[in-house]
Homo-oligomer: A and B are copies of this chain.
Amino acid sequence: MKQSPADADWMAVAIALSQRGRPVSAPNPNVGCLIVNDGKIHGRGWTQAGGRPHAEAMALAAAGDAARGATVYASLEPCAHASPRGPCCTDALIGAGVARVVVAAQDPDPRTDGRGIARLRGAGIEVVTGVLPTEARAAMAPWWTRQTAARPYVTLKLATSLDGCIAMRDGSSRWVTGEHARAHGHLERARHQAILVGRGTLAVDDPKLDVRLPGLEARSPKRLLLTRGIAPPGWSAVGSPEAIDGIDSVLVEGGAGAASAFLAADRVDRLLLYRAPILIGGGKPALGDIGLTGLADAHGRWRLADSRLLGSDRLDVYERVREG
């Protein structure tokens, strides 16, 4: 018999599957699930649009009888609370006769929060916990952030020249970055529930903020305007970075005022920095005052999470380092 890959390898696949539910699984977490029997994958699942079916239900349906005696990899603890929208996953797993369940992250939802694991164990199923929990939480960062901190997960996008300008002094910004970087920006839009701009950007650019990628047009997110006033039709007004409610993920697209407001409020979790190999000189800076009082305070806040070339532009992705 061939040696099977380690649990962490299978779990990495389940976590990759979980990404498919972003952002459409809301209000449910985007979970990924893999059913393995005899070293082979028999079922793959991820939370579907609107939150149902759950990842485990989808994977069980695919596995059929092969679920009996199988090992199930779930990026989040299977739910233990009954819902009018469907049966809970722990019962479904017990009913299918699985032998072993490997869980990445325990569900912080107080309705489950360990009860799923306990119920599986009570049914005689071996449960292994804590396999790639950090990676699993990162893959569902928007849901996790809202669930545990009651605020949305915010990504700030900046597209600048090498000297940090987002436009020429006269406001010209077409184009700073190239087509590959702009397409990547559209993909990021499709992964967010909402996009936010400031009033200046709305007035100058009249941005559509839609997703212009073949097949993903329907993914165009909700449009938020940072303003103390009222928003035009098709837009929702947001009075401050702290005032966003009922949304897991927000992409802040500009301009400098909105970006600075979110940074000053420490409400940015992830930074997308697209940088074109051009120099502008004396152009519009990416940011205004963000409340920094000393250079020492600026350090240790951002960790490089990804870096890649997009055509001749570079994308650096930074994540906010938060304690605890």
Contact = CB atoms under 8 A, between A and B. Distances in A.
B294 A162 contact: no
Contact of A164 (B163, B278, B302): B163
A252 interface: no
B295 A287 contact: no
Given A164-B165, A298-B161, A318-B162, A281 B289 contact: yes
A158 to B, nearest CB: 7
A303 interface: yes
Contact of A287 (B158, B163, B298): B163
B168 A158 contact: no
Copies of this subunit = 2
A298 to B, nearest CB: 4
Interface stretch (A34-42, A172-180, A198-206): A172-180
Contacts of A169: 289
Given A295-B176, A304-B312, A164 B285 contact: yes
Given A164-B164, A165-B164, A295-B172, A287 B278 contact: no
A169 B168 CA distance: 20
Interface in A302-322: 302-304, 307, 309, 312, 314, 316, 318
A286 interface: yes
A218 to B, nearest CB: 32
A290 B282 contact: yes
A105 B286 CA distance: 44
Given A163-B285, A304-B312, A314-B316, A299 B273 contact: no
A132 interface: no
Contact of A168 (B280, B282, B292, B309): B292
A285 B282 contact: yes
A299 B278 CA distance: 6
Nearest to A291: B281
A292 B302 contact: no
A301 interface: yes
Contacts of A277: 301-304, 318
Interface string A262-300: 011000000101001111111001111111101100110
Given A164-B163, A312-B304, A285 B287 contact: no
A105 B76 CA distance: 62
12 contacts: A160-B163, A162-B318, A168-B294, A172-B294, A172-B295, A263-B281, A277-B304, A279-B302, A280-B295, A281-B289, A282-B285, A314-B316
Given A278-B302, A282-B287, 7 more contacts: A164-B164, A168-B295, A176-B295, A279-B298, A280-B292, A280-B298, A282-B285
